[in-house]
A and B are shown apart, each in its own frame.
Chain A
């Protein structure tokens, strides 16, 4: 079944890619190819190609080739608020841009500086939070004890490890 859908998508992409060549050749042979018709054809081709790429990505998400279930997770498996807020603000601004473009005359809307500051706060929070949490998880996990090598010299004593404040009453 997986192979069937993959072949269907490949077939659609081949047809979409070959269709303008066939149409342009046909009109060129009949000498009735106008500039407007050519622009319309190229536009339709671009729209169809972008739509096909979107469908391929959507298909990959549905079949778990692109996994989204850990998009809001830290490496440790716990939920990431920094990723959550970055996702929310990015999608909010992106959806607003798409909505205003579709509702307007097709021009790209102007972006006020407050929106850029908002995105800056969001992205900075993500970056700083990621850096801080990488520091939190930098202590390597304790592995199984290694057998001592009889030929090796005695290793120097390990420096004292940094301790995490586990006192719940420390706030």
Chain B
């Protein structure tokens, strides 16, 4: 059973590495590039909407990176590391601000 577990671990590692490399390659190769499209302005042409999109993307990447780093130290604990409540609040505010900017663009919206 020990050998079987090692084989299964190797297979999972190979599949995840393969999917990660191929997926990243496909996404980054797509034209127009992701960064250019994220930086483009929205239908209103206002810079605030672009800034809200960028802050949401940056906070997302920051929270994900910190969580991945904290999970490296939790190996063998048998539980996923918890997320601090203030990080959840920051994330919810960030996403809420972006959703409000999208809702503002709706035709007939009371926010517009």
Residues of A bordering B, CB below 8 Å = 39-40, 43-44, 47, 50-51, 54-55, 57-58, 61-62, 67-73, 78-79, 81-82, 84-85, 88-89, 92-93, 95-100, 102-107, 109-112, 114-115, 117-118, 121-122, 124-125, 128-129, 132-133, 135-136, 139, 162-171
Interface residues on B, range: 35 or more
Q: A85 touching B79 by the CB < 8 A rule?
A: no
Which 9 residue pairs are nearest across A and B when measured between Cβ atoms? A162-B107, A79-B37, A69-B30, A103-B75, A110-B79, A68-B26, A114-B83, A54-B15, A96-B71
Complex: how many Å from CA A52 to CA B37? Answer: 36
The tally of CB-CB contacts under 8 A between chains A and B is 185
Known: A79-B34, A162-B108. A84 touches B88 (CB 8 A): no
27 pairs of residues in contact across A and B, judged by CB atoms under 8 Å:
A43-B4, A50-B11, A61-B22, A68-B22, A78-B37, A79-B37, A79-B38, A82-B98, A85-B56, A89-B63, A93-B80, A96-B71, A99-B72, A100-B75, A102-B9, A102-B12, A104-B76, A110-B80, A111-B80, A112-B83, A114-B88, A124-B95, A132-B99, A139-B107, A164-B43, A168-B44, A171-B48
A61 cross-chain contacts in B, Cβ below 8 A:
19, 22-23, 26
Interface on chain B toward A: helix, strand, loop, or mixed SS? helix
The answer on a CB contact under 8 Å between A115 and B107 is: no
On chain B, the residues within 8 Å of A40 by CB distance are: 1, 4
Please indicate the chain A residues that have their CB under 8 angstroms from the CB of B71 in the complex. Answer: 96, 99-100
Complex Cα distance, B64 from A57, in Å, reads 26
Residues of B within 8 A of A68 (CB): 22-23, 26-27
